[in-house]
Amino acid sequence: MNEIPAFGDVLSVRIEEGIAHLKLTRPEKQNALNDRVIDALDRFFAKPGEDVRVVVLSGAGNHFSAGLDLGEHVERSAAETMHHSRNWHRVMDLIQFGGLPVVSALHGGAIGGGLELAAATHVRVAEPSAFFQLPEGRRGIFVGGGASVRIGRILGPDRLTEMMLTGRKYDADEALSLGLVHYRVDEGEALAKAEKLARQIAGNAPLSNHLIIQSLARIDDMSRADGLFTESLCAALSVSSEDAREGLTAFLEKRSPRFR
């Protein structure tokens, strides 16, 4: 087990058996996101360590994240706001497309930027206390951390429009039915479920995980023909790898594969 104290008091990191356990650690602020949190996430995902195969992301206290820390609001010009938003986009892209599967354990509020952060993860587990909201429109501002794209792809533009206009709040069961989360578990069980899923995912071939993360969201942006061609390239890369040979050998020998 390896504890990494390099992220101050906003993000704790513990690495154990190839799984990095990340926890937002601002419970007194309901894990509201500020530039220090975004910078800590940026620094971790830029260099997670060669031994890390999967990440589990959670929040300390009663909420996953209440979103942007409005208590630290800074007056910015239009240009400064655009650059600030684009930096959030860059970090969220690093989480989604960095190559590591990320499983999030959600409880309490996943609001605004907190929901944008959750949407950048690949597998989302929610407890009954979890709720999901984009209240920016009610506060006279617009989303800036990727919600219009990531959450729009999940809900569709019509439902996202209604959600943002009204400040509508979805509970865990509604979120499951809409695809905002993939698993709904009992209260207090999200982290254990996320860790179980992380161990399962860590047992996959690293190249397969990487291709799944890198390709599927991008294929969704492509034309049918381009998507199918990209799929064939991913298939060719995976089937010609040492992982594929190990996977086939393990199947024939009726044992679990031992991927590097």
Structural domains of the chain ordered from first start = 2-202 (3.90.226.10), 206-252 (1.10.12.10)
**What is the CB-side half-sphere exposure of residue 17 using CA atoms within 13 A?**
8
Among 58, 145, 42, 182, smallest CA distance to 98 is for: 42
- Residue of 106, 158, 152 whose CA lies nearest to 132: 106
Whether 132 and 105 have beta carbons less than 8 Å apart is answered as no
**What residue spans of the chain are helical by DSSP H?**
35-46, 78-97, 113-119, 147-155, 157-166, 172-178, 190-202, 206-221, 224-239, 242-252
User: Rounded to whole angstroms, how far apart are CA atoms 258 and 260?
Assistant: 7
Which pLDDT tens digit goes with each residue over 30-57?
A: 999 999 999 999 999 999 988 999 999 9
Q: In the chain, what is the straight-line distance between the N-terminal and C-terminal CA atoms, in Å?
A: 19
Specify burial of residue 77 (Cβ count, 10 A radius: 0-12, 13-18, 19+).
exposed
198-207 pLDDT, tens digit per residue, is 999 999 999 9
What is the pLDDT at residue 32? Answer: 95
Is 136 in contact with 112 (CB distance < 8 Å)? Answer: yes
Of 116, 127, 242, 246, the active-site residue reads 116
CA 219 to chain centre: 18
Amino acid at 138: R
State how far the Cα of 96 lies from the Cα of 117, in Å rounded to an integer: 10
Please tell me the predicted confidence (pLDDT) of residue 6.
56
Segments in the chain below pLDDT 50: 3, 5
- Is 116 catalytic? The answer is yes
- Predicted TM-score (pTM) of this structure: 0.92
The strand pair at 183-184 and 19-24 is best described as unpaired
User: Which residue out of 16, 50, 136, 174 is catalytically annotated?
Assistant: 136
d(Cα 68, Cα 104) in Å, to the nearest integer? 18
